[in-house]
Amino acid sequence: MSTENASPETTPAAAAPAPAPAAGTKPAPSTDARPPRRGGDRRGGPRRDRRDAAPVDPNAPEMVEKIVYINRCAKVVKGGRRFSFSALAVVGDKKGSVGIGYGKANEVPEAIRKGTEHAKKHMVSVKIKGDTIPHEVYGEYDGGRVLLRPAVPGTGLIAGGAVRAVLEAAGIKNILTKSMGSKNHIAVVHATLKGLQKLRLAEQIKTVRA
């Protein structure tokens, strides 16, 4: 009885044993089993829950924020100087509402943020007639004194510095102004706002006199 010789192509090859590691060396880590990533597999796992953004109201008025003045204060201590900052901000919607805020912090951005938030919480409504004021008015606060006069269309905003910031935030485009008192920014800003709060429309005056 004859036996057929098995072909090397059809005979399964025996698995060769892995070489033993040399003495004093650590075995190589296996590449088959990888440790799981922290937070799960980003390719196939669920995404992390994200906080939903606050809804934006399309009907909300557009606020105008203006930084009037930034002051730096230095305090001398044993180790040297410590600096702090204060920011004077004006916020308005250009439709007759305006507010003034003052913030202090160790950094400029934080001081501006505090001043802006303070101004938004203390907004007041002023009476305007079109793009100007209804009548002449005089505002005074501490050492600041400001004179405001109405102007015809095309005159423009004749004001500078702190007075201009308040009038632009309130939405006034044609006006004549003159600052006759202190040059301090805080005093001038508050004097301008005091003058705007004195404004009255013709209908309100008729109602009072009736």
Condensed to tens digits (0 to 9), the pLDDT of residues 164-202 reads 999 999 999 999 999 998 999 999 999 999 999 999 988
For 137-202, CATH number out of 3.40.50.970, 3.40.50.300, 3.30.230.10, 3.40.50.620 equals 3.30.230.10
Q: How far is residue 126's CA from residue 166's CA, in Å, rounded to a whole number?
A: 11
Q: pLDDT value at position 3?
A: 47
Domain residue spans of the chain = 64-125, 137-202
Condensed to tens digits (0 to 9), the pLDDT of residues 34-50 reads 555 555 555 555 555 54
Fold of 64-125: Double Stranded RNA Binding Domain (3.30.160)
The reply to whether domains 64-125 and 137-202 share a CATH topology is no
Sheet holding 144-150, edge to edge: 137-141, 144-150, 175-179, 157-158
Helices first, then strands: H and E counts in the chain? 4, 8
Average pLDDT over residues 100-110: 95
**Per-residue tokens: 160:** 């500078």
Q: Cα–chain-centroid distance for residue 174?
A: 29
Between 191 and 14, where is the model more confident?
191
Whether pTM > 0.95 for this model: the answer is no
